[in-house]
Amino acid sequence: MPKLDEFLKINEAADYLGVCRNTLRNWCRQGKIPEYRHPVNNYRLFKTSDLDDLLQATDQAVNNPKPRSAPAKPR
């Protein structure tokens, strides 16, 4: 297992991403970001590299939105 100092607790990770803790928990349940557990106290832990990957993916989605199809013409 990687060193524990490579991880952030949920409060730290939420601050890092600029979201609330519940949003981060929801993203974990949805599989958007992996979570790890502390071996002693079972706290949620997050790798900084995973958080950076999520930030990069969301930045790309914002800067390169998918084209929408043209709205249907009214009859």
pLDDT in tens, 45-67: 999 999 999 988 877 555 555 66
Q: Is the dihedral angle over the CA atoms 10, 19, 25, 3 positive or is it negative? A: negative
pTM: 0.72
Which structure tokens are listed for 47? 């790798």
Q: Where are the domains of the chain?
A: 7-60
Torsion 54-58-63-68 (CA) sign? positive
Buried b (16+ CB within 10 A) or exposed e, 20-34: eeeebeebeeeeebe
pLDDT digits (tens, 9 = 90+) for 22-41: 999 999 999 999 999 998 99
Which three-class secondary structure state does DSSP give residue 9?
Answer: strand
Q: What's the CATH fold of domain 7-60?
A: Multidrug-efflux Transporter Regulator; Chain: A; Domain 2 (1.10.1660)
